[in-house]
Chain A
């Protein structure tokens, strides 16, 4: 059977959690995005302030598996809001869940730094509209802090 939840308490339950943030396109837009569609929640658009979260459902968790990188995250469903703060400069944006992702397990242990501040593991993906509020799209991947607004 699929392990639906890790046994440890989620690390984001009581405090902010640090990890890597990247961006993804959605909403049947141009380029390789054309087949992406509106995401797991059916609402995802590149131009909206939204994000993908690795634990939106059992099926989502079985794909993203952050627990295989030693990270347990809370179950949070479509529409739940997170504040994502850049560890580089401190800019932040509040976004809502619109898709399942990123696939944390495929990049276990990866680390991004800014100055002497680093964060490991891909925990969140933002839409281009949200990501470009806290960093340039051409950076591709940055360290961040995830909290509830």
Chain B
């Protein structure tokens, strides 16, 4: 247990160091400060200074944790910071549910469950760190530290684009979850999109007063009827091929659908 307590300051400090450097140095993150929940809390004009202040606080706590000797006060400071994060997330979730967190880099995703778990884990680690005393590191502790870091990174939605998105892309490439359509099947939307591209539709669209009233396939053509006031506009588009200029149109006195 002593070893686990002694390990926590290193993991927490590295995490805080990363968060602080992003807040202080990442231009994109500062540019998006106005869209974070922090802007809602302190006002848009004070969002960037507030972001910098949090960065300085994180940097100070990280430095105190890293530099010997370990003390309970450092753990308490880290715990207070983590509790502050949790409180901020709760505020963001409640008051600005569509705003992003502004925690670890620029992204537009609002606060979610993973953010709360990450802050909760940091708080738990900080509480454990309060009892830290000098203790020699061994391979098993290093492995545990790495595992904790991986969990913290895995809970960081800000990093998803670096590992989760490529992983999901690979899975989609291998499994092909969206099956190709059956050959010969022409969805109505395909015909309608061809229609929208056609000079025939362009010339008649000002007359159309309804959406599609009726559609049917006959002789290799797809017929589509629209209301045009008391009249009916009927289009015919070839089922095969994609040439918009092959679309025909007629405006008829045939009454509306009955």
Contacts and interface: CB of A to CB of B under 8 A. Distances in A.
B57 interface: no
B206 A90 contact: yes
Nearest to B189: A138
B201 A114 contact: yes
A129 interface: no
Given A35-B98, A113-B197, A59 B202 contact: no
Interface size class of B (residues with CB under 8 A): 20 to 34
Looking at B44, B97, B202, the one whose CB has the most chain A CB atoms below 10 A away is B202
A139 B192 CA distance: 8
Interface string B196-239: 11110111111110011000000000000000000000000000
B199 A62 contact: no
B31 A89 contact: no
Interface in A108-139: 113-117, 135-139
B32 interface: yes
Given A35-B98, A91-B206, A136-B211, A2 B199 contact: no
Nearest to B39: A59
Contacts of A58: 34
A1 B199 CA distance: 47
Contacts of B44: 59
B67 to A, nearest CB: 33
A88 interface: yes
A86 interface: yes
A62 B32 contact: yes
Contact of B202 (A62, A114, A138): A114
A17 interface: no
B31 A1 contact: yes
Interface string A14-51: 00000000000000000000010000000000000000
A63 interface: yes
Contacts of A138: 192, 211-212
B35 interface: yes
B36 to A, nearest CB: 11
Contacts of B35: 59, 62-63
Contacts of A142: 196
A109 B83 CA distance: 45
A115 B211 contact: no
A114 B197 contact: yes
A88 B201 contact: yes
16 contacts: A2-B31, A35-B97, A88-B202, A89-B202, A89-B207, A90-B206, A91-B206, A113-B197, A114-B197, A114-B201, A115-B203, A115-B244, A136-B208, A137-B211, A138-B192, A142-B196
Given A117-B202, A142-B196, 17 more contacts: A2-B31, A2-B34, A35-B97, A59-B35, A63-B35, A88-B201, A88-B202, A88-B205, A89-B202, A89-B206, A113-B197, A114-B202, A114-B205, A115-B199, A115-B244, A116-B199, A137-B211
